[in-house]
Structure 1
Amino acid sequence: MSPSKTPAEILNIGGTEVRISSPDKVVFPEPGLTKLDLVRYYLAVADGALRGAGGRPMVLKRFPKGIYAEPFFQKR
């Protein structure tokens, strides 16, 4: 592991340990929001979001190299 890389963060979510790799990676540069900020936001809105999305097919648009790089769709 390089010295500049932040270690993964482990969160306990609903009784399950979830590993968040690169928690300080900036995913939204203009407001300076990190990957961990995004995870915490999702946790805050999870009840309402899951209630509305339950039982529906999902497609996730991923930006692994940042918001300004080429995305791809992940279907589940």
Structure 2
Amino acid sequence: MTAHEYRVTGCGGGVWRRSEWTDRNSELEDYETACDEWDGVIGFERREPGDDSTIQRKTSPDEDEWIDVTADMIHFEDEEVAA
């Protein structure tokens, strides 16, 4: 099984925010803090260490399925985005 790094992404104070990549247990704590302090938490993300091309996201740590993120790291790969 591949080890992963984790982070939280969302919006707080009118700007996009992301926590630093770290281990899962630390990010679970950061997720709870972000939910309390940020305007909105968009996702819980993981990647293979140091490799942004492997970023996956889910809406919360409790969700079952990881979804790949696009190369621009904004949208899920299968998400339709209006122009």
Per the shorter chain, which TM-score range?
Answer: 0.3 to 0.5
Whose helix fraction is larger, Structure 1's or Structure 2's? 1
If you compute each CA radius of gyration, which structure gives the higher value, 1 or 2?
1
Q: Which has the higher contact order (CA 8 A, sep 6+)?
A: 2
